[in-house]
Structure 1
């Protein structure tokens, strides 16, 4: 990715220029994720906690609907106050609320136990939640909220059941 610290941007530019000149081409490098790298938060709420060989926190969200790269590629979201499993005192599997068996955000550990109503804040989710979200099993699309000057929240886009009906 263009914005990784170890990415050799200067060398890539030289290579692209060489190819363009040699073959009389115009190459356009799509910035992809670099445009929204380390941007966006996805906030979910714990709706239930069950035990099945591991404590599982059921969220009011869905990995398959809202952050499908977790399911389809080896991507793991960082979350605020959470880390790898078994590093901190309390480990949970974070699961989505659909009937999809693999609707799992991953296993994370926390310093304090989760409760129903606890907020889980996934970081760096703009590349995934903005362009790949989908409706499945009654799970709504995420709302888009921006933070304005003075820390005021502004709802930019919100979806409801009528959105779902308009797509069928």
Structure 2
């Protein structure tokens, strides 16, 4: 159980960061204000909104995503054992990730699919993750947030 939890925490750190960056570039101006008609304005809007997306998505993915992912995997394993079909675990777990991901429709669905893919890649690699690995993985979203906020501060200080 410990290795599952540590792997899920690492997957949440990676997927929440990738999700926030992806969302920042796909939806750089969620409120419709401001001008993003040029590439520099688009880039500035994207990098500016990424920390905002991270503030909301990281805790949700870390708490809700980890818990529901563990539930999905355990239910998938249970059904796989009962049906004596190894592929059932992947299918059931994937379907439950999608169902749990529908809580906020498209936003959370994208995050849950990304989380599922990240976790599956880590599971296939079959590494034994320790608590220190999961704690170190928290540096990924923190450093991304700090870099984006540093960029925002730099542009506000020197370009305005």
Q: How does the TM-score come out when normalised to structure 1?
A: 0.25
| Structure number having the greater strand percentage | 1
Higher CA-based Rg: 1
| Structure number having the greater helix percentage | 2
Ranked by relative contact order (alpha carbons within 8 Å, sequence separation 6 or more), the top structure is 2
Q: How does the TM-score come out when normalised to structure 2?
A: 0.26
